[in-house]
Amino acid sequence: MTAGVRLIIMGRQGAGKGTQCQRISRHFVVPHISTGEILRAAVREGTEIGKMAKQVIEAGRLVGDEIMIEIIRERLEQDDARTRGYILDGFPRTVAQAVALDGIAAERPIHVVLDLDVPRDLVIQRISSRRACRDCGTNYVATGQKRDPWTCDSCGGDVVIRDDDTPESISQRLDLYESQTAPLLEFYGRDSRLVVIDGSKGPDEVFASLTAAIDFARKSD
């Protein structure tokens, strides 16, 4: 069995993180820990920290560093993460979270931080081409071929542009991501843990670059 790994993956929305995280997870046999998913799971399961998060969410506020750090701490203490490692996706988002993570992972430090870098204009192009069924949520990609009306192959519902995938909404999300991420890239770049990967290439080339960076970081550990 391939040895496990402990890593953080970063990248703009539309950079292909989801696809690559799945492949890395299978290749190294480690859990892909998505912040959004474990937050929803904590709320659904009614854990103590999940109840706190639910109160914040229901009040219409953003979940703060303290709650997110505790949710991550709980997840990284589970057997699969302790024995095999993990891929952190969506955490940390702030330098305070990154500092806390270094404390949590002090006994088994992060091997590498990967930044999947895709130019902003290409990301906007990728996201703008996404479509979804209004009824069942099945995802599609517009290829430039006109389909009017465009109906879902699964349920026959209308296939439309998602409300949050307009150029204006995409630009706002990218602006927010870039303002949040710049301090993190600087933080991880100081001690050479950060590796920038060209995410504009084909999925197989990107995966090869990611696994090469991970293997090198593990050997240097």
Q: Which residues are known to be catalytic? A: 17, 93, 130, 162, 173
Cα→Cα distances 212→81, 113, 154, 197, 221, Å: 22, 13, 38, 10, 14
- 61-90 burial code (b ≥16 CB/10 A, e <16): eebebebbbbbbeebbeeeebeebbbbbbb
- The Cβ-side half-sphere exposure at 29, using a 13 Å CA radius, reads 7
Q: Are 188 and 99 in contact (CB under 8 A)?
A: no
Give the Cβ contact number of residue 127 at 10 Å.
Answer: 20
Q: Which residues pair with 8 in a beta bridge?
A: 88, 113
Q: Are 16 and 203 in contact (CB under 8 A)?
A: yes
